[in-house]
Structure 1
Amino acid sequence: MLGHWAAFQPVPLPACPCPIDAPSLGVWALQFTPRVALLQGSVVAEMGGSARLFGGLDELQGLVEAGAADLGACVAWAPTGSAALALARHAADAPGRDGFRRPLAQLLDPLPLEAIAAVSTHEATLARVGCRTLGDVRKLPRGGLSRRFDKTLLAALDQAYGLRPEVYEWLTLPETFSARLELMSRVETAPALLFGARRLLVQMAGWLSARRLGATAFTLRWCHDVMRAKDAGTGGEMTVRTAQPTQNVEHFARLLAEHLAKVKLAAPAGDLELMATEVMPIIEESRSLIPETLRKGGTTDLALERIQARLGNECVRRPALSPDHRLEWMQCWAHEPLKRKTVESPYELPLPTWVLDEPLLLIERDNRPYYQGPLQLLLGPDRVEGGWWHRSSEEADARPLNVQRDYWLALSQHAGVLWVFQQRLARDQTAWFLHGHFA
Structure 2
Amino acid sequence: MPPVPSTSRLPESVDADAATDAASAPRCYALADHTRILIADLDALRSGVEPGNTRSHALALAPGLVLLEADPARETRAFEALALALLAYTPKVSFAQSHTLLLEVGSSLRLFGGVRALLGKVAATVAGCGHAARVACAPTAWGAWTLVQARVTRSSRRWHVLKETTLARVLDSLPVTLAPFAAQHDHALTQIGCASLGDLRRLPREGIVRRFGDGVLGWLAQARGEAPDPRAWFAAPPSFHAALELQARVESAEALLFAARRLVMQLAGWLAAQHAALSGFELRLEHELASRHAPRTSTLALAWASPSRDAEHLLWLLRERLNQTELAAPVIGLALVASQVSEYAAPTDTLFPMAEAAEASLGQLFERIGARLGEQNVLQLFVEDDHRPELAMSARPYRESGAKRARKPRKAGKPQQEALASAPVQSAFDLPEVPLPTQPRPAWLLEKPLKLAMRGDRPVYRRPLKTLTRTERIESGWWDGEGVGRDYYVAADDQGRMFWLYRERIGGQWYLQGLFG
User: Does residue 49 of the first structure (1) align with residue 107 of the second (2)?
Assistant: yes
C-alpha distance in 2 between matches for 1:138 and 1:231: 70
Q: 1:267 to 1:136 in 2, by over 3 A?
A: farther
C-alpha distance in 2 between matches for 1:42 and 1:240: 35
Q: Secondary structure at the match of 1:117?
A: coil
Question: In the alignment, what sits opposite 1:70?
Answer: 128
Question: In the alignment, what sits opposite 1:221?
Answer: 284
C-alpha distance in 2 between matches for 1:186 and 1:134: 50
Q: Encode CA deviations 1:138-172: one digit per residue, 9 max, x unaligned.
A: 34332222111222222122211222211211222
Unpaired runs of 5+ residues, structure 2, are 7-40, 42-73, 360-517
Q: 1:266 to 1:59 in 2, by over 3 A?
A: same
Letter in 1 for 2:340: E
How far did residue 88 of structure 1 move?
A: 2.3
How far did residue 293 of structure 1 move?
A: 4.6
Question: In the alignment, what sits opposite 1:91?
Answer: 151
C-alpha distance in 2 between matches for 1:181 and 1:62: 25
How far did residue 238 of structure 1 move?
A: 1.5
C-alpha distance in 1 between matches for 2:208 and 2:311: 51
Q: Encode CA deviations 1:241-283: one digit per residue, 9 max, x unaligned.
A: 1221101112211221222223344444333222212211124
Q: 1:120 to 1:107 in 2, by over 3 A?
A: farther
Q: State the TM-score, normalizing by the size of structure 1.
A: 0.56
Checking the alignment, whether the CA contact within 8 Å between 1:118 and 1:156 is kept in structure 2 is no
Letter in 1 for 2:150: H
How far did residue 204 of structure 1 move?
A: 0.9
Question: In the alignment, what sits opposite 1:183?
Answer: 246
Query: Among residues 100, 118, 121, which one is paired with 2:181 in the alignment?
Result: 118
Q: Secondary structure at the match of 1:83?
A: helix
Unpaired runs of 5+ residues, structure 1, are 1-7, 298-439
Checking the alignment, whether the CA contact within 8 Å between 2:280 and 2:338 is kept in structure 1 is yes
Q: State the TM-score, normalizing by the size of structure 2.
A: 0.49
Q: 1:258 to 1:34 in 2, by over 3 A?
A: closer
How far did residue 53 of structure 1 move?
A: 4.5
User: Does residue 158 of the first structure (1) align with residue 158 of the second (2)?
Assistant: no
Q: Encode CA deviations 1:299-355: one digit per residue, 9 max, x unaligned.
A: xxxxxxxxxxxxxxxxxxxxxxxxxxxxxxxxxxxxxxxxxxxxxxxxxxxxxxxxx
Question: In the alignment, what sits opposite 1:208?
Answer: 271
C-alpha distance in 1 between matches for 2:357 and 2:293: 54
Question: In the alignment, what sits opposite 1:103?
Answer: 166
Question: In the alignment, what sits opposite 2:96?
Answer: 39
Q: Encode CA deviations 1:118-142: one digit per residue, 9 max, x unaligned.
A: 3333224323444444344334332
Letter in 1 for 2:137: W
Checking the alignment, whether the CA contact within 8 Å between 1:181 and 1:273 is kept in structure 2 is yes
CA RMSD of aligned residues (A): 3.3
Checking the alignment, whether the CA contact within 8 Å between 2:287 and 2:296 is kept in structure 1 is yes
Question: In the alignment, what sits opposite 1:251?
Answer: 313
User: Does residue 140 of the first structure (1) align with residue 203 of the second (2)?
Assistant: yes
C-alpha distance in 1 between matches for 2:246 and 2:330: 11
Query: Among residues 65, 81, 84, which one is paired with 1:27 in the alignment?
Result: 84
Letter in 2 for 1:38: F
Q: 1:295 to 1:110 in 2, by over 3 A?
A: closer
Q: Encode CA deviations 1:345-394: one digit per residue, 9 max, x unaligned.
A: xxxxxxxxxxxxxxxxxxxxxxxxxxxxxxxxxxxxxxxxxxxxxxxxxx
User: Does residue 196 of the first structure (1) align with residue 254 of the second (2)?
Assistant: no
Letter in 1 for 2:149: R
Q: 1:220 to 1:295 in 2, by over 3 A?
A: closer
Checking the alignment, whether the CA contact within 8 Å between 2:147 and 2:158 is kept in structure 1 is yes
Letter in 2 for 1:42: T
Checking the alignment, whether the CA contact within 8 Å between 2:88 and 2:270 is kept in structure 1 is yes
Q: Give the aligned length.
A: 286
Checking the alignment, whether the CA contact within 8 Å between 1:36 and 1:46 is kept in structure 2 is yes
Q: Secondary structure at the match of 2:83?
A: helix
Q: Secondary structure at the match of 2:255?
A: helix
User: Does residue 270 of the first structure (1) align with residue 332 of the second (2)?
Assistant: yes
Letter in 2 for 1:78: A
Letter in 1 for 2:212: F
Q: 1:78 to 1:291 in 2, by over 3 A?
A: same
Letter in 1 for 2:4: V
How far did residue 198 of structure 1 move?
A: 0.9
Checking the alignment, whether the CA contact within 8 Å between 1:9 and 1:85 is kept in structure 2 is no
Checking the alignment, whether the CA contact within 8 Å between 1:32 and 1:210 is kept in structure 2 is no
Q: Encode CA deviations 1:205-238: one digit per residue, 9 max, x unaligned.
A: 121122221111112223345x855654544332
